[in-house]
């Protein structure tokens, strides 16, 4: 099997075969006409490499340093919700794969394993992503992440309202997952997924299981209807005051918004269009990356559409300090569980390394715009 899986697209195809349609559509889908999804991939072609020759690349280094720590690769696992629907224990499997690869793992607010369980079950450094649903709930989550030893907090700011994901609406995808005739039929066609699902039960939004919000319906309401659309610089400053460690804001596109975040005291920004899941027709982070990196002194991370090592290298050339992987590692998880995530990480590491050699750059930390040319 592994020999047939040579790139992320192969894992995507296997994930599509393994998962019932409703689950695959949740993983894969974007907002409205999904032009943003297509653009997130096509945008990489706007830049081509200009390889440097006669450079000794017999030894190469893909490790990087961020926030005072050495990481074995210039990418991290992005926060994604409902990973337990792809594979039981999905959050912990992703966290374990990240720990063994020595890359950061970011746990979503909408995880199926709790903040505390992930901290207990997986080694390695953990970062926590916060959806500000209601101020009070957000403050509780921040304190829980702090007490559980998370080192970095990421506030996602591109979800004032839920994205209009028409695949999910057509499929009547909802939390909790409703056992509809079409899900049952689809489950019969995907027996391995169904067996795992039956043995492990319905994934819950574990961070919201409490006396006040114990029912799955309440969890769903929390996640789908009560995002704080009024979140503003003062809300961000309040979180800054509560969190003593590194704080990043995720979902930035405009350079002046990045500057505003820094003025509010954050330690870096994550350029992201949420993988095309929120606003269709959004710019890709790649298109503003160089401007943002030139305007702020703090680290700039980027995600949305990264499927190849060469994509990651292009972003690093344009000024990113690190890239986040969303669907890429989820395809690995859905296709083959922990093994699949390990394999996707390994193949992206090897593609980054191969790209470095091909462009004549011995280390990711030496990458710069000099290795790229923008196509007109
Ligand atoms: C299934 C899925 C669930 C996601 N859930 C979250 C989430 O809970 N919090 C968040 O900040 N971003 C979430 N995202 C967005 C990712 O963090 C990331 O921005 C995006 O996946 C990057 O694009 P890519 O999938 O093309 O790599 C999710 C993305 C996917 C695909």
254 CB-near residues (< 8 Å, 6+ apart)? 288
pLDDT at residue 217 in the model? 56
| More confidently predicted of 264 and 201 | 264
> How many angstroms separate the Cα of 361 from the Cα of each of 55, 61, 264, 295, 357?
7, 9, 36, 25, 6
Residue 85 alpha carbon to ligand 1 centre in Å: 14
Question: Which tens digit of pLDDT belongs to each residue from 279-302?
Answer: 999 999 999 999 999 999 999 999
What digits encode the pLDDT tens for the residues 137-190?
899 999 999 999 999 999 999 998 989 999 999 998 887 777 888 888 888 999
Annotated binding site for FMN: 79-81, 108, 129, 156, 250, 272, 303-307, 326-327
As a whole number, mean pLDDT of residues 119-126 equals: 94
State residue 252's pLDDT score. 98
pLDDT, residue 211, reads 46
Catalytic residue among 39, 52, 245, 274: 274
What is the token pair recorded at 291? 């401007």
Q: What is the pLDDT of residue 226?
A: 56
Active site residue 39: no
46 Cβ contact list (under 8 Å, min separation 6): 286, 287, 374, 375
Q: Cα(54) to centroid of ligand 1, in Å?
A: 40
Of 134, 131, 171, 137, the residue nearest 153 (C-alpha) = 131
**SS3 for the chain, per residue?**
CHHHCCCHHHHHHHHHHHCCHHHHHHHHCCCCCCHHHHHHHHHHHHEEECCCCCCCCCCCECCEEECCEEECCCEEECCCCCHHHCCCCHHHHHHHHHHHHCCCEEECCCCCCCHHHHHHHCCCCEEEEECCCCHHHHHHHHHHHHHCCCCEEEEECCCCCCCCCHHHHHCCCCCCCCCCHHHHHHHHHCHHHHHHHHHHCCCCCHHHCCCCCCCHHHHHHHHHHCCCCCCCHHHHHHHHHHCCCEEEEEEECCHHHHHHHHHCCCCEEEECCHHHCCCCCCCCHHHHHHHHHHHCCCCEEECCCCCCHHHHHHHHHCCCCEEEECHHHHHHHHHHHHHHHHHHHHHHHHHHHHHHHHHCCCEHHHCCHHHEEECC
Mean pLDDT of the region 198-218: 74
Banded model confidence at residue 376, pLDDT cuts 50, 70, 90: confident
Which residues are annotated as part of the binding site? 79-81, 108, 129, 131, 156, 165, 250, 272, 274, 277, 303-307, 326-327
- What tens digit of pLDDT does each residue of 246-285 get? 999 999 999 999 999 999 999 999 999 999 999 999 999 9
| Count of beta carbons in the 10 Å neighbourhood of residue 114 | 19
Which residues contribute to the annotated binding site for glyoxylate?
Answer: 131, 165, 274, 277
User: pLDDT tens, 211-248?
Assistant: 455 555 556 656 664 578 899 999 999 999 999 999 99
Rounded to a whole number, what is the largest CA-CA distance in the chain? Answer: 65
Q: Is the pLDDT of residue 323 over 90?
A: yes
> Candidates 78, 131, 276, 325: which one to mutate for ligand 1, based on the most atoms within 8 Å of Cβ?
78
201 compared with 370, residue with greater pLDDT: 370
**Please, are residues 268 and 300 in contact by the beta-carbon 8 Å criterion?**
yes
Distance (Å, whole) CA 126 – CA 116: 11
What are 64's two structure tokens?
Answer: 């990087």
- Residue 330 CA to ligand 1 centre (angstroms): 10
What's the pLDDT score for residue 220?
63
Segment 23-46 mean pLDDT: 98
> What is the Å distance from ligand 1's center to 323 Cα?
13
**Both tokens assigned to 278:** 């929120």
Distances (CA, A) of 276 to 54, 295, 308, 362: 40, 25, 17, 33
Alpha carbon 213 to chain centroid distance? 26
Mean pLDDT taken over the chain: 94
Reply yes or no: is the peptide bond before residue 176 cis, omega within 30 of 0: yes
Is the model's pLDDT at 113 over the cut of 90? yes
Domain boundaries 2-374, CATH class: alpha beta
pLDDT (0 to 100) of residue 169? 93
Q: Whose CA is nearest to atom 2 of ligand 1?
A: 80
pLDDT reading at 103 higher than 60: yes
- Residue 71: phi and psi, rounded to 5, are -115, 145
Where does residue 276 fall: left (phi above 0), alpha (psi -120 to 50 degrees), or beta otherwise?
Answer: left
- Which residues' Cβ are closer than 6 Å to ligand 1? 27, 40, 78-81, 108, 110, 129, 156, 250, 272, 274-275, 277, 303-306, 325-328
């Amino acid at each position: 099997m592994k020999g047939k899986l040579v790139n992320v697209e192969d894992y995507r195809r296997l994930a599509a075969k393994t998962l019932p349609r409703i689950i695959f559509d949740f993983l894969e889908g974007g907002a409205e006409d999904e032009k943003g999804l297509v653009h997130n991939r096509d945008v990489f072609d706007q830049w081509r490499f200009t390889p440097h020759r006669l450079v000794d690349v017999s030894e190469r280094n893909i490790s990087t340093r961020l926030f005072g720590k050495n990481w074995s690769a210039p990418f991290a696992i992005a926060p994604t919700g409902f990973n337990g629907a792809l594979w039981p224990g999905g959050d912990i499997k992703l966290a374990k794969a990240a720990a063994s690869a020595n890359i950061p793992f970011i746990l979503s607010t909408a995880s199926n394993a709790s903040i505390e369980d992930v901290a207990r079950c997986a080694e390695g450094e953990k970062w926590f992503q916060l959806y500000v649903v209601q101020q009070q709930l957000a403050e509780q989550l921040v304190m829980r992440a702090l007490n559980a030893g998370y080192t970095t907090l990421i506030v996602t700011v591109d979800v004032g309202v839920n994205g209009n994901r028409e695949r999910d609406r057509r499929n009547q995808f909802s939390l909790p997952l409703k056992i509809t005739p079409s899900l049952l039929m689809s489950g019969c066609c995907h027996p391995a997924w169904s067996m795992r699902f039956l043995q492990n039960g319905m994934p819950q939004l574990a961070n919201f299981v409490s006396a006040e919000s114990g029912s799955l319906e309440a969890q769903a309401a929390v996640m789908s209807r009560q995002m704080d659309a009024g979140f503003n610089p003062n809300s961000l400053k309040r979180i800054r005051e509560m969190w003593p460690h590194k704080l990043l804001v995720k979902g930035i596109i405009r350079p002046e918004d990045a500057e505003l975040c820094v003025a509010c005291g954050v330690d870096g920004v994550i350029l992201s269009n949420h993988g095309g899941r929120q606003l269709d027709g959004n710019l890709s982070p790649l298109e503003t990356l160089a401007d943002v990196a030139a305007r702020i002194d703090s680290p700039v991370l980027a995600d949305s559409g990264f499927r190849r090592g060469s994509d990651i290298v292009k972003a690093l050339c344009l000024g990113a300090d690190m890239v986040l992987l969303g669907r890429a590692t989820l395809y690995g998880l859905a296709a083959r569980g922990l093994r699949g995530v390990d394999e996707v990480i390994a193949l992206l590491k090897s593609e980054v390394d191969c790209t470095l050699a091909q462009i004549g750059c011995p280390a990711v930390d030496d990458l710069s715009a000099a290795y790229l040319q923008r196509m007109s």
